[in-house]
Structure 1
Amino acid sequence: MPLRRPGRPAVAALLALSAALASRPAVLAAQPPIGAAVRDSLRDDRAFSFEARGPYRPAVPRPEALLGYRLGDRNTQYAEQERVLLAIAAAAPERVRVEEIGATHEGRRMRLFVASSPENIARLDEIRRDLDRIADPRAGSAAEIDALAARTPAVVWISESVHGNESPGFESGMQLLYQLAASDEPATVAALRNAIVVLNPSSNPDGHERFSVWYNSVARRDPANQSFEHDEPWSIQGRFNHYRFDLNRDVIASTQPEVQAIMRGMLRWHPQVAVDQHGQVSTYFFPPAARPVNEHIGAESEKWLTRIGRANAAAFDRYGWQYYVRSYFDLYYPGYWDTWPSLTGATGMTYETDGGGWKGLLWEREDGSKLSFRDGIAKHWVSAMSTVEATAAGARERVADYLAFRRRAVEDGRAGRVRRYAFSSERDPLRAAELAAALLRAGIEVRRADAPFQSARAHAYGQGTAAGDAAAARRFGAGTYVVDLAQPQGRLARAILEPAPVLDPEFQRLQEQRFARNQRRGSAGFKEQYEFYDITAWSLPVAFGVEAWWTEDAAPVTGALLALPDAGRPGPALASATAGAAAPIALTGPAASTFSEASPGSELLAAPLGGGVTGGTRAQSAYVFGPERTNASRLAWQLLAHGVRVTVVTDSTEAGGRLWPRGTFVVRTSRNDTTVHALVDRLAREAGVEVTPVASAFTERAKLGIGAEQVVALKRPRVAVVGDEGVSQTAFGALWWTLDRRYGVDFTHLNWRSMPGALSRFDVVVLPDAYGVGDFVGKDAVDRLKAWVRAGGTLVAMGNAAAWAAREDVGLTTARRVGEDAKPDTAGKADSARAARARADTSAEARELLAATSPGATPDAAEWLPGSHFDVVLDRTHWLTYGYEQPRLTALVTGDSFFRLSRDGSNVAVFPARGPMHRAGFQWPGNTERLMRNAALVLEEPLGGGHVVLFGNDPTFRGWWRAWDRMVLNALLLGPSF
């Protein structure tokens, strides 16, 4: 979505208004709330003052003077924070510069506040140019770049409240900017001479606004944990952005505008230290981080994690504040705001505070002591200042280490076994272009070959085949996207592109030991918790469903490096771009909640897609387009939405002198009015889909043509998606965003209460991944749901909602979840030779620490999976798999929702009974593959005149698992017509 940037006069007026407001006297609350003295007697901040690090320049306004209340007395709203920050910046231009970097889905401006000494601010543009050269050490001689590094201040990036309801960072950012802009304390002044602080004061303005407005409306300052003010309703939950994306998981693919804006800022300032301020935990956390650590970060990162961690510890010890390190928060998944900068050479760190956020203004700990919102704010402020000072004290060394990391990335790319990644645009040009765009947004160099090239040793990713990872000579065609690893972002590129990340073997061994002990315990007894923080596999080519290879060589490739159009100055419209590999295409998304038909998505692309009616001729008989490109479903949907009659063929068909695969769409001219010709061309261009005009329905060779009985007329489906308590916010959000922004599929958002009575209005109802569905859908609602399906409805259930639908007492399908009926281990299977071999060296410790194996142990229950890649075999005759002609597809499996084969329905995607299955990520020895074999991940079962479709996974996971989009769209688009 193009940014709606205010012009310079608008910014100047806003700065002037903020300065004027800053000069007005503010009235602080005269008295604390009733009972506050008793409640606050054991607060952590009772001996803390934000005013202890002065003297302060009186010309710079204090945050509380602008707000009219002390930080921590209430949650500040976004416009209030904006006013405070701009007023401080306007009062201290010699120390602070303001830069706008983007806007949120709801139109809130995102800004950076760059603070440093007057000397550095005076030459800030020069410093930034030097940082550009340091970040790319190929740009000059080693001596020249070393000299730049020796004179350049270290850059410390501090981001606040990426989770909107983790609110202390949002508040502490105001106090931090005030300290940097106003304090003449010698320590602060000295730090600013050697460091540039880039403050991102709100990483998630929309989520924070949703939370803060709600919290302020119900706050009573009640420390009771059960108080309503500590429990946001589902519709309010402020952790996520507008589309309910977790912005601390989206960095790997940067689908959301907030993430894209922050990424642009980081690539502009090249920070050497990057802090992401979070909450809420029991006591404060700062690094060193927990295991596992992504191997591409490098062992040397521990030096700075430890040095800054010790500085934070010393600062906290002065107040007697509790904290912990090396536990829970890892640096493995590259989509976090600490791992991603670490992979670029920075010291990336997550800081988690205790007070505030969903704990509110006051919270009672387990020992009866009180924890306040102000406690959480104070601790974030102290850790931020400590980090700035520790970095400034070693600024020259930190910049040198950053430079060394970037140089090693280039050298590793030239000398390592993996030299290059290549991915094809032949099967689905849009997907390949989207993958290239995601890499470009991350600052990764991508080239598009304008001529064929060779590789002597290329390794296919194996997706869609059972070929595995063998090396072979390969000729790549023109149009192939190429990522050479001999670049400064090479380590980041490898981390997000490689087929299978390496997991710390010691970490893996410890989890397997816990698993072995848990297998010997009773099914309802105590279980040791595993330490996975997030998914363990994520390869973007696999997730996007793009055919890809990695190569051991890097022969020269001709073709320009790609560049994205400026977010504020879009490139030419898609319809007018038909040639030129590097021509920028602007895919502008809808404004607010209205879908714009002018584009197929909300991402800016760097390569053309083509599309429209081929040859520019009118069809005499029909317009035909195949299902291979995902956007074919979008085009069919948009045509239906415009009143066009669309059909789909159920078997291979001949039309226009060529054979078309099953699932091909046909628009018959005789059954539509004369406007269909221009409409098909326009919508096809917007979707990037090529449409073939056909002059006759006669077939020369094939049995079936476009006039055959096997052509099914499509109806425009009326779709509802349930989003309410129990439904995964991120699963609902990813589906919402995917349908709304990528495919223009209109739907109605239902809650549990309204769903049973509203069923008759819809053809398709989707239940995203949800826990405790049975708590919200009683027997009467289930009966009404069954009656609706029997009358022709299509129910699509995903993840844990699919597991609910497969329960025997629900009875929507004859399939059952694997392990649901696992029996206790009365035969001692947990101690059998087979299980012992599977556990390998973990069994000895399991036996040593446990007294006995429980008779109630259930070794045949599937253990929860932490996000791993597995192949499924597809039923390539079923309508759900239209557009999929490869025998296999890779799925991301998280959790334990996979099913014994349906007795009465179609098992559409099944884990193979033999042969390769596991592709990447962690799996449990002796459990995962044994129980997955020949189990279904996707199934469709008729019920009366309708369908029940179950996806055992979350098929639109985080908006960047796109390989399964076509199957989801088939369920929605085709279900009501089949």
Structure 2
Amino acid sequence: MPRLLLALMLLALPAAAQHPWDNPLRDDAKFSFYDRGPYRQGVPRPESILGFNVGDAHTQYHLQERVLLAIAEAAKDRVRVEEIGVSNERRTMRIYIVSSPENIARLDAIRADLDRIADPRGATQAQLDAVIARTPAVVWFSGSVHGDEVPGFEASMQLLYHFAASNEPATLEHLKNAIVIINPSSNPDGHERFAVWSNSIAVGSAEATALEQQRGQPWATRGRFNHYRFDMNRDLMAITQREVQAITGGMLRWHPMVTADLHGYTSTYYMAPAARPVNANISGWPFKWSEAIGRGNAAAFDRYGWLYFVRDAFDLYYPGYYDSWPSLNGAMGTTYETDGGPALLQYREDGTLLSLRDGISKHYVASIATFETSAARAREMVRDYAAFRAKAVTDGRNGTIKRVVFVPGSDPVRAAELAAALMRAGIEVTRTTAGFSSTRASSYTEDGTRARNFPAGSYVVDLAQPQGKLAKALLEADPELDPVFAREQLAKFQRNQQRSRNADDTEGYEFYDVSAWALPVAYGVEAYWTEDAPALQGQLLSFTNGVRMGAEVLPHAITGGIVEGRDARSAYLWRNDRNNAAKLAAQLMQEGFRVAIAAQPIQTGNVTWPRGTWVARVSRNETTLAARVDTLAKLAGVEVRGVNSAFPDDAQYGTGSSVVVDLKRPSIAVVAEGNISHTSFGAVWWSLEQRYGVRFTPISANALNGDLSAFTGIIIPSGGVQGNGANLKRWVENGGALVTFGGATSWATREDVGLTSARRITCADKKAEPTRSTAAPLDSTRATASPNACADQLADLPGSHFDVVLDLTNWVTLGMEKQRMPVLVGGSSVLGLSHDGGNVAVFPTTGTLKRGGFTFPDNSERLLRGSAFIVQERVGRGNVVMFTNDPMFRGWWRALDRMVFNAVLLGGSF
């Protein structure tokens, strides 16, 4: 519809129709939040507190809080409020529990019954049946985990009012059979950034170029992410963020049977059931309820003539979403995506209007319909939930994988962090007090199945537990993929292979996220899955006596501090075999202490220390060195030993040798803004600040053209970088350490940038190669593929696990002991080998390559073999270290942290 005609139509509307939502060009023209009454007079409506109608402006967090608490206070017979946590910016997070007065009066007893149903072990079926018969269904709604997807946040106020105030007979009856829990804001901090920015410039213009439209958000104020720029709808893998810990903790406490996560934005409303693929560990009853609830929602939308779609976009494969994670707990988890917002008003392509209130209205209607479908069949729903939990125990006992075992190894902190991540998900973890054996154990990083002995102190996850489905999903090395979905992707691949390289009709693959994610691999711990489950001695871990270390609470203490030679006269040494070893070194250096690192094995007396050992010499530091080393090492869980002599008994090198390299006091910058990925930047920010306690300075991408002399190391997270980086190159040549991730590495390999001899392999590199080889690896001398047709360019990987081989003579690998390790690879970029620098990590030309996830046949593995994963190149007096992936991916990939620290702390000294 032409814009002029639309404007004339709006002017022609009678005065009585000029209220915004009376406009016939809007979906919500005839919608009211108040047609489900009568309503109790003493319960305040949201607009009476806000001073405006919901949807007329963006509600800030403190105002939403005021509305919700006022409604709850006025309806105490139906509403109970629970504080579940505090956001990173110190906003209190609450859930609002609503049911009939009778249920609220016995809410504590109901929660005890829910605990009993959630863990059926030790109960007879008759006992469970009695509990099921008296337990209401629990339905959970979460608003706006992506802070600029605001309709869920806004709809929460109207939902609480409806359930707390409506005296409609149907609503009262449903509240007897079910409990509704409203988590009104999953991301208070991100929402507040967006709301303040939007309200400061919004005038209600529907024009696409208006500042208030979504794409106008400035980089620093974009509200999708939390304070640390994490996408919290991906964080349920390891539950690192405070907000996610609060919400999942609430879910584990209340055991919802249905969860709906309220998002935006799609062209029309999206509702359950979900698309393929669905995680294979989500089995049984959720599918039945997904269909039933979807049909109930559809009927509610059809009454208004609203459009919607199901199935074709949002899957339940990756277990870290707010729909897949509850589903693996036994709930019917779903995502709802609305089509109105975040702008107050906008045009559709056909000239009709889409409003924020429209998006709120649809979430409101879908949520009520979801609740009503659940409440109408509450007994059946509770019984099905209980059966899912019982089946998880049975399947874990009878399945091929019966246990996952991981050992402290050389980094007990990382192993304890993995145990803590699983425990935050409600998964039972046992720490053994005696050694035990398995007759059939398979390693996550080695080939074959064999008998193994495990030491005391190992961590054991038995899959025969109520959270067994979730445990298996988080821990399995190679997730099962829906064969129908897999065939569809391979068919697309085959068709793409037949197209011209310049074709504009290439079909995209339908993976919504990564296809491999095993937490033991991501954490880099020594781990195994076993096909047997012999009796063992141990203790079930809890956080009752937990110990805080950095950003996390661990289930038990880790030994650290100066464990030998407290009053050393020569030096203090600690191995670089745990992530926190670099933390200790960096913290000491940032406090002004002088630290060095051994580039080769050294000896003190008759004790040999491996390459990568950190050394703090007594004579080169203040007298407070010992006390500070001891304090920081205890906080880091790092064991330090003092020595009284620099003399090696029989080895070539000691602590006074030239192979012990003095390091510069670090001053680190991390690049933000521009085209830098928020989540890549956020993972670095959170890891450095929260996990490792290492200071850094965020700088704008534009600052790379200015004075960089204050910094010894610069990290460019994944994303686009503009220009040829001439100023940055000069900084490196003068002794700087530059570290690039992902997309920034692609920029760094450009010939005009001049930072490395490694080049990204592209179709252009292959045009002159007319023949096809299925066996030859990538050609390191030309940094292009050996003869392959351009059609053989690496197909877009969704995020899979592949082995790399490390160069254990390169300084970037100092402290690394094993030559092979799995890494996460996604996208279609392949990096040729450097012929002027170091190829720190290379995909192997022989042996096992793929460890987990989806691959394209005769493409992924063949084209990756022999290519580079990490490249180091000397530039003048400095160094560039380039990672082709995001090594701190989402804050839970920890296996590469030591090499990131080596790169940024050592790059100016080697």
Aligned ranges 1:788-803 → 2 under 5 Å: 788-803=731-746
Match of 2:831 in 1: 899
Amino acid at match of 2:388: F
* One-letter code aligned to 1:678: A
814-823 vs 247-256, greater mean Cα deviation: 814-823
SS, match of residue 83 in structure 2: strand
Partner in structure 2 of residue 7 of structure 1: none
Tell me the amino acid that sits aligned with residue 126 of structure 2: A
SS in 2 for 1:44: coil
8 A Cα contact 2:664 2:712, kept in partner: no
Query: Superposition pairs for residues 751-790 of structure 1, below 5 Å?
Result: 751-771=700-720, 773=721, 777-779=722-724, 782-790=725-733
Residue 669 (structure 1) shift? 1.1
Quick check: 1:488 aligned with 2:443?
Answer: no
- Aligned residue among 811, 818, 822 for 2:754: 811
CA distance in 2, matches of 1:972, 1:276: 39
1:586 Cα deviation from its structure 2 partner = 2.3
In the alignment, structure 1 residue 45 sits paired with structure 2 residue 7: no
Q: In the alignment, does 2:79 pair up with 1:134? A: no
Preserved contact between residue 656 and residue 695 of structure 1 (Cα < 8 Å): no
Contact 1:825 1:859 in 2 (8 A): no
Tell me if 1:514 matches 2:514: no
1:946 aligned residue: 878
Q: Relative to 1, partners in 2 of residues 1:461 and 1:361: Cα closer, same or farther, differing over 3 Å?
A: same
Are 2:673 and 1:724 equivalent residues in the alignment?
yes
Q: How many residues align?
A: 882
Q: Provide the rounded CA distance (Å) in 1 between the counterparts of 2:901 and 2:289.
A: 47
The answer for the alignment partner of 1:289 in structure 2 is 274
Number of the residue aligned with 2:887: 955
Equivalent position amino acid for 1:96 in 2: V
Q: Which among 804, 825, 845 is matched to residue 913 of structure 1?
A: 845
Whether 2:633 is the aligned partner of 1:633: answer no
1:410-421 → structure 2 map (5 Å cutoff): 410-421=393-404
Structure 2 Cα separation of the partners of residues 229 and 86 of structure 1 = 30
Q: Deviations over 1:896-935 (max 9, x none)?
A: 3331100100000000011111110111222211211110
CA distance in 2, matches of 1:37, 1:257: 39
For 1:346-404, what per-residue CA distance to the aligned partner results, in whole angstroms no more than 9, with x for missing partners? 100000000012xx001111111110000000000000000000000110011100100
For the residue of structure 1 that corresponds to 2:706, the secondary structure is helix
Offset of 1:809 from its aligned partner?
2.6
Is 2:807 the partner of 1:875?
Answer: yes
Amino acid at match of 1:697: A
Letter in 1 for 2:547: I
Letter in 2 for 1:804: W
Q: Is the 8 A contact 1:586 1:604 kept in 2?
A: yes
Q: Runs of 5+ in structure 2 lacking a partner?
A: 1-13, 776-787
One-letter amino acid of the structure 2 residue matched with residue 511 of structure 1: Q
| Residue aligning to 1:539 | 518
Q: CA RMSD in A?
A: 1.8
Shift of 1:185: 0.5
Report the alpha carbon displacement of residue 426 of structure 1 after superposing the two structures with TM. Answer: 1.8
Provide Cα deviations, 1:271-300, integer angstroms capped at 9, x if missing partner: 011111100110000111000000000143
Output aligned runs, 1:437-836, within 5 Å. 437-462=420-445, 467-468=446-447, 470-524=448-502, 525-565=504-544, 583-587=545-549, 601-615=550-564, 617-771=566-720, 773=721, 777-779=722-724, 782-819=725-762, 821-823=764-766
Answering whether residue 258 of structure 2 is matched by residue 270 of structure 1, we say: no
Judge conservation of contact 2:770–2:789 (CA < 8 Å) in 1.
no
Cα separation, partners in 2 of 1:214 and 1:35, compared to 1, 3 Å: farther
Deviations along 1:425-457, one digit per CA (max 9) or x if unpaired, are: 022111001000011111100010011111111
The alpha-carbon distance between structure 1 residues 656 and 496, as it changes in their structure 2 partners (threshold 3 A), is farther
Which runs of structure 2 are paired with 1:203-352 in the superposition (5 Å)?
203-230=186-213, 231-352=216-337
Deviation digits for residues 120-160 of structure 1, max 9, x if unmatched?
Answer: 00100000000000000014222101210121000001111
Contact 1:874 1:908 in 2 (8 A): yes
Alpha-carbon deviation of 1:32? 11
How far is 1:615 from its partner?
A: 3.6
Q: Deviations over 1:678-725 (max 9, x none)?
A: 111111111110001112111123221111121111111211111012
Shift of 1:33: 14
Question: Partners of 2:836 and 2:402 in 1: how far apart?
Answer: 49
Q: Do 2:574 and 2:615's aligned partners in 1 also have CA atoms closer than 8 Å?
A: yes
Q: Deviations over 1:799-852 (max 9, x none)?
A: 0110011112322211011225344599596xx9x79xxxxxxxxxxxxxxxxx
Contact 2:590 2:666 in 1 (8 A): no
Structure 2 CA distance for partners of 1:396 and 1:247, relative to 1, 3 Å = same
The CA distance in 1 between the partners of 2:117 and 2:17, in whole Å, is: 57
Q: Hey, what's the Cα distance between the residues in 2 that align with 1:881 and 1:828? A: 37
* Aligned residues of 1:161 and 1:168 also touching (Cα < 8 A): yes
| Identical counterparts, % of pairs | 57
Would the aligned equivalents of 2:21 and 2:30 in 1 still touch at CA under 8 Å? no
Deviates more, 1:690-699 or 1:347-356: 690-699
The residue identity in structure 1 corresponding to 2:559 is G
CA contact 1:648–1:665 (8 Å) conserved in 2? yes
Q: 1 CA distance for matches of 2:196 and 2:709?
A: 36
The residue that corresponds to 1:354 in the other structure is 339
| Alignment CA distance shift 1:952-1:199 (3 Å) | same
- Structure 1 CA distance, aligned partners of 2:475 and 2:332? 22
Matched, 1:390 2:373: yes
Scaled by the length of structure 1, the TM-score of the pair is 0.88
Contact 2:85 2:243 in 1 (8 A): yes
1:101 is displaced (CA, Å) by 0.4
Deviation (angstroms), 1:40: 3.9
Which letter does structure 1 place at the counterpart of 2:217?
E
**How far apart are the structure 1 equivalents of 2:143 and 2:156?**
7
1:943, CA displacement in angstroms? Answer: 1.0
Deviates more, 1:759-768 or 1:325-334: 759-768
Distance across 1 between alignment mates of 2:198 and 2:569? 62
The answer for the alignment partner of 1:124 in structure 2 is 107
Matched AA of 2:390: R
Matches of 2:15 and 2:723, distance apart in 1: 47
Moved more, 170-179 or 650-659: 650-659
Matched, 1:858 2:790: yes
Alignment-derived partner of residue 17 in structure 1: none
How far apart, in 1, do the equivalents of 2:654 and 2:763 lie? Answer: 47
Runs of 4+ in 1 over 3 A off after TM superposition: 31-41, 822-829
Deviations 1:199-248 (A, max 9, x none): 10000000000000000001021111222211211111100000000010
SS at the partner of 2:253? helix
Question: Offset at 1:35?
Answer: 8.5
Contact 1:819 1:862 in 2 (8 A): no
- State the 1:528 CA deviation: 1.1
Flag structure 1 segments of 5+ consecutive residues without an equivalent: 1-30, 566-582, 588-600, 836-855
Q: CA deviation at 1:619?
A: 0.8
Match of 1:19 in 2: none
**1-structure distance, mates of 2:22, 2:250:** 42
The answer on 1:976 being equivalent to 2:872 is no
Structure 1 CA distance, aligned partners of 2:907 and 2:764? 31
Question: Contact conserved, 1:872 with 1:888, CA < 8 A, in 2?
Answer: yes
Cα distance in 2 for partners of 1:402, 1:235 equals 42
Inter-CA distance 58–38: structure 2 relative to 1 (3 Å threshold): closer
Shift of the 111–419 alpha-carbon distance from structure 1 to 2, 3 Å rule, reads same
Distance 1:68 1:233 in 2: 28
TM-score by length of 2: 0.95
Aligned to 1:26: none
Question: Letter of the aligned partner of 1:497 in structure 2?
Answer: L
